[in-house]
Amino acid sequence: MTEEPGTAGGLLEFAARQQSFEIGGVCVGGVPGARPTVLIGSCFYHGHSICVDEARGEFDRQEAEKRIRAQDDFAALTGNPCMLDVVGATPDALQKHLEFAKDATRAPLLIDGTTSAVRLAGLEYVAQAGLADRVVYNSVQPEIRDEELQAIQDAGVTSAILLTYYMRDFTAQGRVQAVRELLPKLLDAGICNLMVDACVLDLATMGQAFGAMFDIKQEFGLPVGGGFHNAVAVWKGLKTKMGLQAEKPCMASALAAAVAVGADFVLYGPIEDAETAFPAVAMVDTSLSQLSIERGAKPDKSHPRFRIG
């Protein structure tokens, strides 16, 4: 018999169910508050100021190194691990970006292409460069084709983000159903380190994502998170009605709220926002650590609790 989540027995059951994975030396998942939240910044995205020619994958290498290093520095400062979301507009661009990123940081890399063809080119490079253990495929979706799954398996990649963009039922429960339906297929394809993106498109869907995250952790124990910055990025009235100064506080609030309700990782958007994202997340991680300690957890000394004070 499964006990209610709010009871002592229910909390123990919940904690025992939580999974954590190590990807490229970074651990993600587990009991909220016990393990630091992983922050993921994006580089080479559409319109990124460091890009010179998006189609050809040409960019300002010095500026790219500077911004990637800043994320690494904030990770070291706060104790919150990081990953780098490497975006490419074309197959050639993504391969060039991955080739650069693998040496610019030791952090795990997300393969993030605008189309499946672009992502498959990223997989080809990863296989050739021997990076399979260090990358996360971003992302697999409910309608993913068998050919794409086979390519992931052939490249030896075992880590992926499941984006719960489930159009048959675009509700909080629909997101949970997407995991139920796709999980067996992904495990059969050798994707054993699965991070679940609860799919945030705007302010309303962020609320759905919050509800789905709790239910997914409760049922499957998988690491959960999402692109919570999207809710702020598409908020049309934010700058016009609230002023330009409101954007950063709202982004920090969105991330903090997500971590407070159980996010194990957050895609915080442009890597330039590391200076806003890391302090906000580290603050909530530190607060939650006290509760996890009272419930028997022992956070590692690298936890933000022991870093940011």
| Whether the predicted pLDDT of 202 surpasses 60 | yes
Contact 65, 101 (CB under 8 A): no
Of the pLDDT bands very low, low, confident and very high (cuts 50, 70, 90), residue 226 is very high
Q: How many residues are recorded in the chain?
A: 309
Query: Which CATH code is given to the segment(s) 32-297?
Result: 3.20.20.20
Domain ranges (residues) in the chain: 32-297
Residue 28 φ then ψ, to 5°: -135, 140
End-to-end CA distance of the chain: 42
pLDDT at residue 191, rounded to an integer: 96
Q: Kindly report whether the global pTM for this prediction surpasses the value 0.85.
A: yes
Q: Which residues pair with 28 in a beta bridge?
A: 21
pLDDT at residue 296, rounded to an integer: 86
In sequence order, what DSSP letters do the residues of 79-139 get, joined into one string?
A: ---EEEEEEESSHHHHHHHHHHHHHH-SS-EEEEESSHHHHHHHHHHHHHHT-GGGEEEEE
The predicted model gives 205-224 an average pLDDT of: 97
Which residues touch 114 (CB under 8 Å, ≥6 apart)?
46, 87, 88, 89
